[in-house]
Chain A
Amino acid sequence: MKILVCISNVPDTTTKITFTNDNTQFNTAGVTFIVNPYDEIALSRAIELCAGGKGTVTVINVGESATEPTIRKALAIGADDAVRIDAAPRDAYFTAFQIAEYAKEGNFDMILTGRESIDYNGAQVAAMVGGFLDIPSVSIIKKLDYDGTTATLEREIEGGKEVVTVTGKFVASCAEGVAAPTIPTMRGIMSARSKPLVVVAAQPIEEVIKVVQFETPPARGTVKLIPAEEAANLISLLHTEAKVI
């Protein structure tokens, strides 16, 4: 079995988000980049499915050379080898196209991503890869089992879940519940240095979107404190003042 896991290089979850160049660019100064937390979940499940010599896990990242520490981290977690498509990831459409182009040749049984990246929160790449390859995609899964030919997936829906089966190649985006993120071991970290990481040139594709401006949300007002003994007053305030109940 061959599994391809897509890895996004994202700002650490505690990063204070600021912008430069008249709010047109994300300010990377002093920011630590990490493996997108959802991608770690996808990667952990891929490693579990391949454990005991049942298969191999390749991680793929679309990014410039600065993303290599993130790719090495994925190798330390347990991926067998890595691919970097050498380009700044312009947007999800571009990224998905690059991944699909690479995957066309690789004969992967499944392609896994995280449910979304924590920077652009697009939740787009998995389904777009499915679209470019014209294979099924199942988005926001909570569970993934595979018997060698058929995958059984649980997909989140509003107020419940849906069980879906897919036979043949597919793409899925993973959310919490699919697997617990794996912590790299010292051995993993050591061996990551010598695992193969190939760099592939990007393919041209038309541009469909452009982020023209970032904005930060307006600061919220100050909190109105209600003494605990008068907690009941909250209800009337929510009714008469905030008008939300």
Chain B
Amino acid sequence: MSVLVYVEQVEGKFKKSVFEAVSYAKAIADKTGTSLTAVSIGNVADNELQELGKYGAAKVLNVASAELKNFVNQAYAAVIAEAAQKEGAEIVVLSNSFSGKGLAPRVAVKLKAGLVDGAIELPQLDGGKFLVKKGAFSGKAFAVTELVSANKVIALNPNAFGVKESAVTASIEAFSPAVQPTDLTAIVKEIVRATDKVSLPDAELVVSAGRGLKGPENWGMIEELAGLLGAATACSKPVSDADWRPHSEHVGQTGIAISPNLYIAIGISGAIQHLAGVSSSKVIVVINKDPEAPFFKVADYGIVGDAFEVVPKLIEALKAHQA
């Protein structure tokens, strides 16, 4: 028996959200009295795989096949399901990343397993029940979900659990699963990644702006503020609808749901659909010239003022703070 965690690599490296998933899976393994195995797919160097030991992965199955270099969820799901069977793992953990969202449901179907996507807490093992909490109704509620199947899949939300060290030495084992050619009919043609930007779903700090900014030409100060903080940038829906910013930055009920440690909302009214995607942020700062803006009701810190005056002051203060 073991818990299996899938560790998603990006260009041969693991991101923080992977270490969170490993830490979370290790905590489940401890709770259920089993060990933790990780499965990595793609080309990852041994020293990077060794990093997984720091967070409790005693064993790493390394699938280093050239045909599996790029993410194809049908094939990856087959690999993870085969790894779970090989390890006798009834619990599979992965990150609720964009790829994870496409993968977890297929792994669940393969293993005839219940799936909790977007888990935000460790499972409660309550009188033989296996309960996992997740967000529902676009952040307006939580659903405590019981996994009643023998096999269980959990996709962990970024920033929900944090990284916890529990150092072991990872033994790395080559693993050659039987992938069918029919599992590889979706072909990745091109990957475009903005390497200089903090990725929004994993970001710990987010600076976001809305229609109050008047036009795309005014985003320079938003980017400068985000740059100084090492934050990702986001926006409200009308802003991406008007093509002032890319759709990938749109947060809210119909955009991305995020839960960073700090969310700074500038010139955003705080409509219910916007709040739906950001209200689980740990600290919310609102800058709006309208003291009646609904966003102030959910904010921890607020400044009633004109963004064009306030933001430059914040930039100055940050530069002074960092000097």
Contact = CB atoms under 8 A, between A and B. Distances in A.
Nearest to A170: B186
A83 B134 CA distance: 31
Contact of B254 (A118, A119, A226): A118
A184 interface: no
A164 interface: yes
B113 interface: yes
A128 interface: yes
Contacts of A121: 117-118, 135-138, 257
Interface stretch (A61-69, A74-82, A136-144, A187-195): A136-144
B242 interface: no
A54 interface: no
Given A160-B194, A214-B141, A228-B310, A177 B98 contact: no
B241 to A, nearest CB: 8
Contact of A245 (B112, B133, B145, B262): B262
A44 interface: no
Chain B CB within 10 A, most for which of A11, A163, A167, A228: A228
Contacts of A138: 73, 102, 186
Contacts of A216: 140-142
A14 to B, nearest CB: 6
Interface in A153-172: 155-168, 170
Interface residues of B, number: 104
Interface residues of A, number: 86
Interface stretch (A1-9, A102-110, A196-204, A230-238): A230-238
A212 B117 contact: no
B86 interface: no
Interface string A127-152: 11011101111111010000000001
A209 B283 contact: no
Contact of A131 (B110, B118, B248): B110
B310 to A, nearest CB: 5
B82 to A, nearest CB: 14
B299 A223 contact: yes
A83 B230 CA distance: 49
B146 to A, nearest CB: 5
Interface string B1-32: 00000000010000100000000000000000
B214 interface: no
B253 A13 contact: yes
B141 A208 contact: no
Given A224-B302, A225-B303, A212 B145 contact: yes
Given A131-B110, A238-B285, A118 B199 contact: no
Return the 5 tightest CB-CB contacts between A and B, nearest first.
Answer: A228-B305, A131-B109, A139-B102, A208-B114, A232-B317
12 contacts: A123-B117, A140-B98, A142-B247, A155-B102, A158-B98, A165-B189, A166-B186, A213-B143, A213-B144, A226-B301, A228-B306, A235-B318
Interface of A: 11, 13-14, 16-17, 19, 26, 37-38, 92-93, 96, 118-128, 130-132, 134-140, 142, 152, 155-168, 170, 173, 175-177, 206-217, 220-221, 223-228, 231-239, 242, 244-245
